[in-house]
């Protein structure tokens, strides 16, 4: 692998691949050669620093890393999450073909379908008012209590699918900071509230603490007997849910082969289903499934997740770019960058290979972003003229949902396209100077100002276009990025499906709690931690 990466570096140099502007000038068909479609989904990577030889090299890398074999093992239900001894089968949750998927000899599809049916019946009951609160009132507000993968997916998707939201209002509480639940409880009426406690493990301190606060709130306002009417739970740890006291009929299970950050398709999607209804939720699953079929079957050069992953690896390890910006020109995808941060960084922020040796590559990049056009007025300065090259990933719908605001959508499209064009084309010193002198600036002053107005150009971006942001399109987009993360992880030869890196902080927080409670001394901690504890406790007195 290392040699192949070195070859790619040499090829990039020899073919002057990073001169994207020159590549466009030399080839009128560059867009059609370096873009591909899947239905109404268009993936344009022509503004990346690729050419045929680079793609050949990336294909060789994929072969050497056995990406296709690894992909097949995932779909087959092999135990590919080796550190936790688990299969990785979020694809089974959206397996609309219903073809058999075996985990240790057992077909998981009957259980998947049974939970989906139970979720559907519950969601219908809440939406129609058949399932009421303890005082007989219809549920108007659903509050999801969860964090990480038990929060980010439903939060992101609920906003993304706002035009389809015809069920009760949704709220999300995740942070251990009491401000989060306190501000939410102020907005709701206990008689018409339903809390969904969402936790794969049902041990996460944030979720358990917020759930206990919510439980006390309901018991305090409506009496202990009301609790059963106002709570539901989603978890893989059904025994722990039972201990919390939630009625078994309101508990929706999933399985250890669903990673938290891949769980939006499971019962973790219950709040979304309550918001948009079972039919729309089904379309969302259909979208994910469409990408699964494509990822399994399409040849590499037309395979969008493969290309996304290979280009991601190329940016990181051949061209050395440290981060990637996710820039949806779609306000309703405002939480998509945050969602991808967990998906990508928790999956591929690793330093040890599948063989338990240190990785030989730079693994996952920093993933960040904001929706356009807001980002333009905040951090695009750095993307255009900063000293680091930051590959940008644009996404935009051909049609907005606001028919009478078509003009605003046109402005949105123009801005999106202008940004990728500007990044690629840039502006030379001569062009900058000519622009200034044409406006009457004298030569000497133009010489001083022009360098500040130079854009190097040749800054890579890719663009994803879809018809309209509907449940199917969203399902496709999420699955596309899930598989991209898979491909990059396979190239790095890491386990993308564990998350040991979040453990140490959790352990230390447990140890520090008695210290900040004033029950134990801080003397066993380093002097900074001890000093901070002392300052906080003094100020809190």
Between 147 and 479, CB nearer to ligand F6P? 147
Distance separating alpha carbons of residues 221 and 272, to the nearest angstrom: 27
Catalytic residue, candidates 106, 249, 445, 506: 506
Catalytic residue, candidates 377, 402, 445, 448: 377
304-313 vs 52-64: helix crossing angle, rounded to 10: 90
Least distance in angstroms from the C-beta of 148 to ligand F6P: 3
Residue 388 corresponds to which tokens in the numbers above? 């680091």
Least distance in angstroms from the C-beta of 346 to ligand F6P: 6
Specify whether 104 is catalytic: no
Between 411 and 502, CB nearer to ligand F6P? 502
Least distance in angstroms from the C-beta of 130 to ligand F6P: 29
Between 386 and 511, CB nearer to ligand F6P? 511
Q: What is the dihedral of CA 198, 200, 205, 211, to 10 degrees?
A: 20
CB 283, CB 476: distance < 8 Å: no
Least distance in angstroms from the C-beta of 260 to ligand F6P: 3
Residue 184 corresponds to which tokens in the numbers above? 């939410």
The DSSP code sequence of 310-370 is HHHHIIIIIS---EEEEEEE-GGGTTHHHHHIIIIIIHH---BBTTSSB-SS----EEEE-
278-297 vs 109-128: helix crossing angle, rounded to 10: 150
The kind and range of the H/E element at 193 are: strand 193-198
Between 240 and 427, CB nearer to ligand F6P? 240
The kind and range of the H/E element at 234 are: strand 231-235
Residue 71 corresponds to which tokens in the numbers above? 């992909």
Specify whether 523 is catalytic: no
Distance separating alpha carbons of residues 241 and 228, to the nearest angstrom: 12
Burial tier of 358 (Cβ tally within 10 Å: 0-12, 13-18, 19+): exposed
Least distance in angstroms from the C-beta of 502 to ligand F6P: 4
Catalytic residue, candidates 191, 206, 346, 370: 346
Least distance in angstroms from the C-beta of 499 to ligand F6P: 5
Q: First vs last Cα of the chain: how many Å apart?
A: 58
Between 254 and 492, CB nearer to ligand F6P? 254
CB 86, CB 79: distance < 8 Å: yes
Between 204 and 280, CB nearer to ligand F6P? 204
DSSP 8-state code for residue 427: B
**C-alpha distances in angstroms, 294 versus 137, 324, 417, 474?**
46, 24, 27, 16
Least distance in angstroms from the C-beta of 363 to ligand F6P: 17
Least distance in angstroms from the C-beta of 85 to ligand F6P: 16
Between 150 and 184, CB nearer to ligand F6P? 150
Between 36 and 201, CB nearer to ligand F6P? 201
205-222 vs 178-185: helix crossing angle, rounded to 10: 30
Between 149 and 471, CB nearer to ligand F6P? 149
Distance separating alpha carbons of residues 144 and 198, to the nearest angstrom: 7
Ramachandran area for residue 356 (φ above 0: left; ψ -120 to 50: alpha; else beta): left
Residue 225 corresponds to which tokens in the numbers above? 């007997």
What residues make contact with ligand F6P under the rule CB under 6 A? 147-150, 199-201, 204, 207, 260-261, 346, 499, 502
Least distance in angstroms from the C-beta of 197 to ligand F6P: 9
The DSSP code sequence of 464-519 is EEES---HHHHHHHHHHHHHHHHHHHHHHTB-TT--GGGHHHHHHHHHHHHHHTTS
Specify whether 506 is catalytic: yes
| 460 phi, psi to nearest 5 deg | -75, 145
Residues serving a catalytic function are 346, 377, 506
């Amino acid at each position: 692998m290392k040699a192949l990466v070195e070859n790619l570096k040499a090829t990039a140099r020899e073919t002057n691949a990073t001169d994207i502007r020159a590549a466009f000038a030399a080839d009128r068909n560059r867009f059609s050669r370096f873009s591909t479609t899947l239905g109404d989904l268009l993936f344009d990577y022509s503004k990346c620093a690729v050419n045929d030889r680079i793609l050949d090299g990336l294909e060789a890398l994929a072969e050497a890393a056995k990406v296709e074999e690894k992909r097949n093992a995932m779909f087959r239900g092999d135990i590919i999450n080796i550190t936790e001894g688990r299969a990785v089968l979020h694809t089974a949750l959206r397996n609309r073909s219903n073809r058999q998927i075996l985990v240790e000899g057992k077909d998981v599809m009957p259980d998947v379908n049974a939970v989906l049916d139970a979720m559907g019946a519950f969601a219908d009951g809440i939406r129609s008012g058949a399932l009421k609160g303890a005082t007989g009132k219809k549920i108007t507000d659903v509050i999801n209590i969860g964090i990480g993968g038990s929060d980010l997916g439903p939060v992101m998707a609920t906003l993304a699918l706002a035009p389809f939201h015809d069920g009760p209002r949704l709220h999300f509480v995740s942070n251990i900071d009491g401000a989060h639940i306190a501000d939410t409880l102020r907005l709701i009426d206990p008689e018409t509230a339903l809390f969904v406690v969402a936790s794969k493990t049902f041990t996460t301190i944030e979720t358990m603490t917020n759930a206990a606060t919510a439980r006390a709130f309901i018991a305090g306002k409506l009496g202990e007997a009301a609790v059963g009417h106002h709570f539901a739970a989603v978890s893989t740890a059904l025994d722990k849910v039972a201990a919390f006291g939630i009625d078994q009929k309101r508990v929706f299970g999933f399985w250890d082969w669903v990673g938290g950050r891949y769980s939006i398709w499971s019962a973790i999607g219950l709040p979304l289903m309550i918001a948009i209804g079972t039919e729309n939720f089904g379309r969302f699953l259909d979208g994910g499934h469409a990408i699964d079929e494509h990822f399994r079957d399409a040849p590499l050069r037309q395979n969008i997740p493969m290309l996304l992953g290979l280009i991601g690896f190329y940016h990181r390890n051949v061209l050395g770019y440290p981060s990637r910006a996710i820039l949806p020109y779609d306000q309703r995808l405002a939480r998509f960058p945050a969602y991808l941060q967990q998906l990508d960084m928790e999956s591929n922020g690793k330093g040890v290979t599948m063989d338990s040796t240190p990785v030989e590559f730079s693994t996952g990049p920093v993933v960040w972003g904001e929706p356009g056009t807001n980002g333009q007025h905040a951090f695009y300065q750095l993307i255009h003229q900063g000293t680091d090259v930051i590959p940008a990933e644009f996404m935009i719908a051909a049609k907005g949902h606001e028919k009478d605001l078509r003009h605003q959508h046109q402005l949105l499209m123009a801005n999106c396209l202008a940004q990728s064009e500007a990044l690629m084309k840039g502006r030379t010193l001569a062009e900058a100077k000519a622009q200034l002198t044409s406006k009457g600036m004298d030569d000497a002053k133009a010489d001083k100002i022009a360098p500040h107005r130079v854009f190097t150009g040749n800054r890579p971006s890719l663009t994803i276009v879809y018809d309209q942001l509907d449940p199917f399109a969203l399902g496709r987009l999420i699955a596309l990025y899930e598989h991209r993360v898979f491909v990059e992880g396979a190239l790095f030869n890491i386990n993308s499906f564990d998350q040991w890196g979040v453990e140490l902080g959790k352990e230390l927080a447990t140890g520090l709690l008695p210290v900040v409670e004033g029950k134990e001394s801080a003397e066993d901690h380093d002097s900074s931690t001890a000093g901070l504890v002392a300052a906080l406790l003094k100020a809190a007195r």
